[in-house]
Structure 1
Amino acid sequence: MPTLLRCLLAVCLFFALAQPDARAGGALPCEAVDGLVPVCGLVGPEDLVLAPGGRYLVTGQMGDPGGLVLLATETGRAEAVAPVAAPAAGWGDPACPALSGALHLHGLDLARRADGRWQLLAVNHAGRESVEFFELTPGAAGPPQLAWRGCVEAPPEAYLNDVAALPAGGFVASHMAPRSAEVRSFLLAVLGRDTGFVYRWDPAAGFSEVPGTASRYPNGVTVSRDGSALYLNEYLANRMRKIDLATGERLGEVALEKPDNASWADDGRLLVASHQAGLIGLVRSVRQPRDAVSLLPFSIIAVDPETLAKETVFEHEGPPMGAGTVAVEAAGSLWIGSYVGDRVLRVPLAATGL
């Protein structure tokens, strides 16, 4: 990298970090705006998954107090849940230590195991860089129950973002950049250099790099229903790629501005959260306090998993929340999380293109 260019980027980054975010909402009132309803009392609810039955969503908190939270889809009530520790964990890596201390949770994925039990995977940054395994047991009348069943500690330099279970066992997880070189990696990614890739973890073989996944700050990962294809959101490359999981062959791609997480819509399309932000606005938003609401503009884009045709189904700028990271369809609404702030946003489906 030429010295002059390195200096210019360093100056830009300095000002981005030093200046307050003009679009930071701070302590916004927890009030609906134009029919958009915030559900508050959370800290950085970055990802969401829908529990079986559709009556509850599960989210994790990226900041203190951390942990898992249940959201009732009919009432919007948020309730922290303390998972029970299993006497014999059995899932994940047998060498991974038992759960202790707070959990700062990032990407989530809920899938059914071969034995029929529901497995919740969660990327954790507190205490250890890991993927935590929980068993979710749907409640017959009340909320689902959660039990910790094990974990897998990430490789030493891994900085994980999202996770997705594989039908045959194990998981894939996006590795954004080396943990010890986060700022340098961000600058390299802005210049077009790959900074990370997708890990595959297998119970027998451990971690390996998924071929064909080197990219610029890989973010959301989604696996096709049959487990043959990976949908990879390349945040700073502004695209989603469809990749053959076995060979690494690129099966297609679609341009998306700063794509974050994805979820499956009821119509079979992928709902992708996309940030409309320049470099400085983005860095300011990421660097603001975890409990401060960001007003970073965002869109939700539906992508056909076969043709990769795209359609913007919702876009928003301003209160009650910005910086949407995931959209999950449930109970006649889109529920949208964020990496910062105290809330999830509930958007009536009538206000979207779904």
Structure 2
Amino acid sequence: MRTMAGLLVLALASAGGSWATAAEGCAPSGDLQLICGPEAVEDLDRVGQTKWLIGSGMAEGGKGGHLRLIDTAARRWENLYPAGGPAGARDAKRFPDCTAEPEAQKFSAHGIVLRNAGGGRQELLVVNHGREAIEYFAVIQAGSKPQVQWIGCVPLPQDVYANSVAPMPDGGFVTSLFYRPSQGGIDAVFASQVTGGILRWTPGGKVTEMPGTQVSGANGIAVSHEGRVIHMAAWGTRELVRFEWNGDKLSKKTVPLGFAGDNLRWSADGKSLLIGGQKFVARKGGPASLDGWSVVRVNPDTLDVKMVRDAGPKETMQGITVGVEVGNEIWVGQFRGNQVGYFPRK
């Protein structure tokens, strides 16, 4: 979860544009190993079954945000975008309402997700708060490492603060409406009020809110069963919600998580969901006191929850938002701070 600038106290360090490894003072915490430097990597997703992770990064302190590329084998990272990669190549047919590439100084990447685009190709979808749009990038294998090329965007409606995004089988997406700035903003989420639901875009259409999906603090989102099932974290009530459509009929199941669930990621075998999130004490207008975090594994059908790692307030890395499987490890990002971590997969 990452809210608007100024709502939460941030402890950030500057990051370079070339490869960087674990910084001085970036000591491990038990079996949690750390790589320091990349600011506020709120979301992570794996490029296919490779060693590469792509991470998000929001604008902060008058500087534009970035996408990050993380080499999980070499334990190092670099800026991926904007970073002098391939020039944008807008697909005007797919994205007629988006006329220009994001401004670098305003680019602010929140939730991200990779989608299979057919023919062995992948695309990256990014929630960009610089202009409240879902940006599309083609993932290009350039030499020994991936690059991304901007190809278009889908503007979101007015008065929307989106959080996470997931691809739909038709090439469109669903994104979680975390809150509406004019209707209480983050304070409404902290008060566990219903603040928004699932927004859907179908190619050739407009972005619309899906009836019956409204929760408090709609956050991480994942799609399965050819788009008929959507899981979403209700951050404001610390629950996971499973929506299923049978034709026009919607059914819903909810399970408590015991922490504020953030981003959702499918396990490497596609059989379970990993959810990372925070334990905190909410304060009106922020900041929120971070008191530990959890990563859990959830059965997507029964909603049985199994603890993977539970950390207290003394853990070095706080504000965990995501857990991603890479081989025998789980990698985690955070909305506050300049660390990416990894620990043994259990």
Query: TM-score, structure 1 length as denominator?
Result: 0.83
Question: Quick one: structure 1 residues 92 and 109, their matched pair in 2 at CA, closer, same or farther if it must change by over 3 Å?
Answer: farther
Query: Unaligned 5+ residue runs, structure 2?
Result: 1-5, 14-23
1:279 aligns to 2:279 (yes or no): no
CA, structure 1 residues 77+91, in 2 after alignment: closer, same or farther (shift >3 Å)?
farther
Q: Distance in 1 between matches of 2:249 and 2:166?
A: 17
1:250 aligned residue: 251
Q: In the TM superposition, what whole-angstrom CA distance separates every residue of 1:59-104 from its partner, at most 9, and x where no partner exists?
A: 0111344121110010111011234233343475222121132321
How far residue 190 of structure 1 moved from its aligned partner, in angstroms, is 4.5
Give the aligned partner of residue 267 of structure 2: 265
Contact 1:38–1:320, Cα closer than 8 Å, also in 2: no
Corresponding letter in the other structure for 2:330: L
Which string of whole-angstrom CA distances, capped at 9 and with x for unpartnered residues, describes residues 25-65 of structure 1?
77793111213111111111000000123210000111344
SS at match of 2:287: helix
Q: Which residue of 1 aligns with 2:111?
A: 107
SS at match of 2:340: strand
CA distance in 1, matches of 2:328, 2:145: 19
Of the two structures, which has the highest relative contact order with CA contacts closer than 8 Å and spacing of 6 or more? 1
**Contact 1:92–1:152 at 8 Å: present in 2 too?**
no
**In 1: Cα distance, 2:209 partner to 2:138 partner:** 27
Pair 25,41 (structure 1): closer, same or farther in 2 beyond 3 Å: closer
AA at the equivalent of 1:79 = E
Alpha-carbon distance in structure 2 between the residues aligned to 1:191 and 1:284: 14
CA contact under 8 A between 2:12 and 2:40: conserved in structure 1? Answer: no
Q: Tell me: CA distance 1:229–1:341, structure 2 relative to 1, closer, same or farther (3 Å).
A: same
Residue type at the aligned position of 2:181: R
Amino acid at match of 2:311: H
Distance in 2 (CA, whole Å) between partners of 1:52 and 1:73 is 13
Conserved 8 A contact 1:49-1:108: yes
Cα distance 1:326–1:192, how it changes in 2: closer, same or farther (>3 A)? closer
Percent of paired sites with the same residue = 29
Residue 171 of structure 1 corresponds to: 173
1:1-354 to 2 correspondence within 5 Å? 29-63=25-59, 64-81=63-80, 82=83, 83-90=85-92, 92-99=94-101, 100-102=103-105, 103-114=107-118, 116-126=120-130, 128-138=131-141, 142-181=144-183, 184-245=184-245, 247=248, 249-256=250-257, 257-267=259-269, 268-280=271-283, 283-285=286-288, 296-317=291-312, 318-349=314-345, 354=346
Please state whether the residue corresponding to 1:326 is helix, strand or coil: strand
- What's the Cα RMSD here? 2.5
Structure 1, unaligned stretches of length 5 or more? 1-16, 287-294
Deviation at 1:254, TM superposition (A): 1.1
Q: Residues of 2 paired with 1:236 and 1:143: CA distance?
A: 38
- Structure richer in strand, relative to its length: 2
Name the one with the larger helix percent: 1
> Across the two proteins, how many residue pairs are aligned to each other?
319
Secondary structure of residue in 2 paired with 1:253? strand
TM-score normalized with structure 2 length:
0.84
